[in-house]
Amino acid sequence: MRERVAAIIEREGRVLMVRHRSKDASGRHLGEEYLTLPGGGIEPGESASDAVRREVAEEVGLQVTWSAFVRRVEHRGDDGASSIFRVEVDPGVAALGADPELTCDCPRLVGLEWVLAPGQEAWEGPDVWSHLKVAIS
């Protein structure tokens, strides 16, 4: 089972999302774009809280100063799950990072966006998936 983490980073009523590009028919990251919370896979021997610190630094260039577990969400149609953390970060400016796990030369991470933050209940409710991955039309 693939275990992942996701970070809720809020500032001034907005939550930070990473713009990703999906794979197209060729297998390259040239497909449709979508937004997700910063996060990624937990490495062997790594705790979830350590993984969320590492993933935030890798993807958005910020240092986590505090984190609190919110909930664990089973992936749809997948054998994995994500542990969601509410985090506070240093006051720096977010900057798009890279995905060191990516083996191709095509960009998967293509931007950052601050979007209107849903209320706390959104992260704890049954419709959490609509906030974890947002399609871009």
pTM comes to 0.85
Q: Catalogue all structural domains in the chain, each as residue range(s) with its CATH number.
A: 3-135 (3.90.79.10)
- Average pLDDT on 69-90 reads 87
Backbone angles phi, psi at 122, to 5 degrees: -65, -35
- Average pLDDT on 90-109 reads 77
Residue 50 pLDDT > 60, yes or no? yes
Q: Are 38 and 55 in contact (CB under 8 A)?
A: yes
